[in-house]
Structure 1
Amino acid sequence: MTELPEHVAVNREYWDGMAHEWVDAGERAWDQVEPTWGQWGIRENEIHLLPEDMTGMRAIELGCGTAYVSAWMARRGASVTGIDNSAAQLRTAQRLSAQHGVVLELIHGNAETVPMPGDSFDFAISEYGAAIWADPYQWIPEAHRLLRQGGTLVFLGSHIFVGLCSPVDGSYPITRRLERPYFGSHRLDWRDAVDDPGGIEFTLTFSEWIKLFVGTGFEIVDLIEIQAPADATGSRSGISADWARDFPNEHVWTLRKKS
């Protein structure tokens, strides 16, 4: 068996160990009629991440977790594959799939190397999942390989501001000053964080994202920098609603594979 890259092995252990903490959230999301996105629950009718009608489409969710996004796509008519690094998360996904009568193909694996043929999918998506837990220099080209010409990739993850304004020791809350350099921010290791120790995350500068997309063969369709709603309160992972109204803590990229 091929040895997993360090970040893949670390993140697998991390998510297998905490999957039980996400069961309730997964169940609530599976029950939703209309999707909501990200840490602030932005409504689908505000940011339009999914095609309204996915009848006849093949779709893949990269880093599906409990697979509620996969379920949303299947209910819109798509034939859906979900892949996740955590077997424990997939057990919840499989249970909820059976409970709701939604047919999904679920794969235990790494979104950087998906065991599927190229040119297989019309649509690919990641809400967090691969979007932050996989190395973009590996998973973005893999998503490109999986998509047919003209296919769409949508991914939502942490904005680079989150890493830049997070104290280096991993303590909460996030600050309103730069805590680390903008350049060289590719890999963020949270295993020794003071508050909420985690796994290994990835991000890029905006110029690095654009160079990667263009060099891989994608065209950029859209970029959304998410702002917390005016009525949002509390905090999410050390990020207060007030902070997230002044600075984006999430972004959404929409890309199209060039014909």
Structure 2
Amino acid sequence: MLSQSSRANRWWWDGNADDYQGEHGGFLGDARFVWCPEGLDEADAQLLGEVGGRAVLEIGCGAAQCARWLAGRGARVAAFDISHRQLRHSQRIDLETGVRVPVVQADAEALPYREGVFDLACSAFGALPFVAEPLAVFREVRRVLRPGGRFVFSVSHPIRWAFPDDPGPRGLTSDRSYFDRTPYTETGERGEVTYVEHHRTMGDWVGLLAAAGLRLDGLTEPEWPPGHERVWGGWSPLRGRNLPGTAIFSCSA
């Protein structure tokens, strides 16, 4: 059974996938692996290492742009997302590019894959900011990874939760406690929850990885690159020059 967070976010992404892909699809590309709004590209960062011939799972794939990039470099790819509408955009891009990525609709807290079948798992802002039980996700990732398999994922940098989600000067002044883990929610006209995003501190993420039996091998905090002027929600050149916006965790099973 889906949690309240999963139900709300499946509903939200199904309703907003078209606008999301319309606004950000050009930046993400059809077959490009972008880790974050700062524009860090896996082609340059190589956080996953060699992917050719490896079995790779993309978690919360959206329109599977990252998975398509991986497939283009010889990886054997599987991908999933909770949103059916996002997966329809993946199907559209498959037809436009001729690069087909096998995708399924699934919840990250209960992966529909056998134990120990993947060499790598990755997630670029997919699923993890939105799930109520990240420990369940990490345990599932460890289950489907082969021993020694690699898992790399990006999320909003935890420090951002102490600041307003504003790309302008207001977003530079902390107005809430970093330690307040109250989720950000949106509700509909009848009071039903329609969107949920969860906050974990840096210590929370590290502790959850350890509890799931995953080893943290590295942490990347991408700097805002010179000449990058794109605003994406609360991400902007102004804030990016002063505050980290993304945290990328590199782990192994």
TM-score normalised by structure 2 residue count: 0.88
Structure 1 residue 28 displacement after superposition: 6.0
**What's the counterpart of residue 157 of structure 1?**
155
User: What do the CA deviations read for 1:74-120 (whole angstroms, capped 9, x no partner)?
Assistant: 11111111110100000110121233222322111111111111211
Say whether the 8 Å CA contact 1:227–1:244 is kept in structure 2.
yes
State the one-letter code of the partner of 1:250.
T
**What's the counterpart of residue 131 of structure 2?**
134
Structure 1 residue 176 displacement after superposition: 2.2
State the one-letter code of the partner of 1:207.
G
- CA change 1:182–1:54 in 2 (3 A) is same
State the one-letter code of the partner of 1:212.
L
Say whether the 8 Å CA contact 1:124–1:153 is kept in structure 2.
yes
Q: Distance in 1 between matches of 2:41 and 2:80?
A: 24
Q: Distance in 2 between matches of 1:164 and 1:213?
A: 23
Name which structure has the greater RCO, CA cutoff 8 Å, separation 6+: 2
Q: Secondary structure at the match of 2:205?
A: helix
Task: Trace 1:94-173 onto structure 2 (pairs within 5 A).
Answer: 94-135=91-132, 136-166=134-164, 173=168
- CA-based RMSD of the aligned residues comes to 2.3
**What's the counterpart of residue 54 of structure 1?**
51
**What's the counterpart of residue 93 of structure 1?**
90
Q: Distance in 2 between matches of 1:226 and 1:17?
A: 30
- CA change 1:203–1:46 in 2 (3 A) is farther
- CA change 1:13–1:251 in 2 (3 A) is same
Structure 1 residue 145 displacement after superposition: 1.3
State the one-letter code of the partner of 1:13.
W
Residue number among 66, 69, 89 corresponding to 2:66 in the alignment: 69
Q: Distance in 1 between matches of 2:145 and 2:194?
A: 31
Q: Secondary structure at the match of 1:90?
A: helix
Q: Does 1:176 align with 2:175?
A: no
Q: Greater CA deviation, 53-62 or 42-51?
A: 42-51
State the one-letter code of the partner of 2:34.
T
**What's the counterpart of residue 246 of structure 2?**
250
**What's the counterpart of residue 19 of structure 2?**
21
Q: Distance in 2 between matches of 1:235 and 1:226?
A: 16
Q: Distance in 1 between matches of 2:26 and 2:95?
A: 12
Stretches of structure 1 that go unaligned for 5 or more consecutive residues are none
Structure 1 residue 239 displacement after superposition: 3.2
Say whether the 8 Å CA contact 1:227–1:246 is kept in structure 2.
no
Q: Distance in 2 between matches of 1:191 and 1:175?
A: 24
- CA change 1:160–1:144 in 2 (3 A) is same
**What's the counterpart of residue 208 of structure 2?**
212
TM-score normalised by structure 1 residue count: 0.86
Matched residues, number: 246
Q: Distance in 2 between matches of 1:43 and 1:234?
A: 15
Q: Greater CA deviation, 229-238 or 91-100?
A: 229-238
